[in-house]
Amino acid sequence: MISKEKKAALEKEREERIAEAEIENLTGARHVESEKLAQILAARQLEIKQIPSDGHCMYRAVEDQLKEKNCALTVVALRSQTAEYMQSHVDDFLPFLTNPNTGDMYTPEEFQKYCYDIVNTAAWGGQLELRALSHILQTPIEIIQADSPPIIVGEEYSQKPLILVYMRHAYGLGEHYNSVTRLVNIATENCS
């Protein structure tokens, strides 16, 4: 049986851990990044639209942005088209993929597996997949980040860009993409 003193000490220790976690939440990288992004987006009359962190976040964020343009491409279709485009433009993508174990450029077989994984798994998407999607959609894709200027992939296209938010510290696993939506001004909305 645990003594009253021991129980009180355990409870005090638990409360101290909770307090430390709350301080970390207010000063930690995730909070700082979120605050910076909120300011960057507010200046553009935008706010983050949360996308689930399920390995499909980049594709879901693109899908969400496309809905705003009345384009109903699904995550499945986006993944499939991305892999097809990359496979038909091997020379544009292969030099940027390296085997994490050896540091060597992917072999054609490793590249095929990479493309297979795009279609058939929840493999995370990144810069290469965004480049492919920009060409497929013939639309620029702007990626807003907290600590560096926005990146625009597909600047050669003249359409209004899709806008994604890239977060380095969003979740325990690290990187994450969200979509954006127009910031709604409640004060003016109530007057109209």
What's this model's pTM, rounded to 2 decimal places?
A: 0.78
Backbone angles phi, psi at 63, to 5 degrees: -55, -45
Spatial distance between the Cα atoms of 155 and 135, rounded to a whole number of angstroms: 10
Identify the H or E element spanning 166: strand 162-171
Provide the pLDDT confidence category of residue 192 given band limits of 50, 70 and 90. very low
Residue 94 DSSP symbol? G
Q: Identify whether 54 is a catalytic site residue.
A: yes
The DSSP bridge pattern shows strands 162-171 and 141-144 to be parallel
Q: Identify whether 135 is a catalytic site residue.
A: no
Question: Rounded to whole angstroms, what are the CA distances from 72 to 63, 64, 120, 123, 184?
Answer: 7, 9, 20, 22, 24
More confident residue, 168 or 162: 162
106-134 pLDDT, tens digit per residue, is: 999 999 999 999 999 999 999 999 999 99
pLDDT value of residue 169: 59
Q: Identify whether 117 is a catalytic site residue.
A: no
Provide the pLDDT confidence category of residue 171 given band limits of 50, 70 and 90. low
Kindly name the residue from 56, 57, 64, 115 that is annotated as catalytic: 57
Alpha carbon 50 to chain centroid, angstroms: 10
Kindly name the residue from 54, 91, 104, 147 that is annotated as catalytic: 54
Mean pLDDT, residues 162-170 = 83
Amino acid letter for position 125: G
- Any idea which residue has 């109903």 for tokens? 72
CATH 3.90.70.80 fits 4-182, yes or no: yes
27-59 pLDDT, tens digit per residue, is: 577 778 788 888 888 889 998 899 998 889 999
pLDDT value of residue 11: 73
User: For a pLDDT cut of 70, what percent of the chain falls above it?
Assistant: 83
Kindly name the residue from 89, 92, 176, 191 that is annotated as catalytic: 176
Identify the H or E element spanning 49: strand 46-49
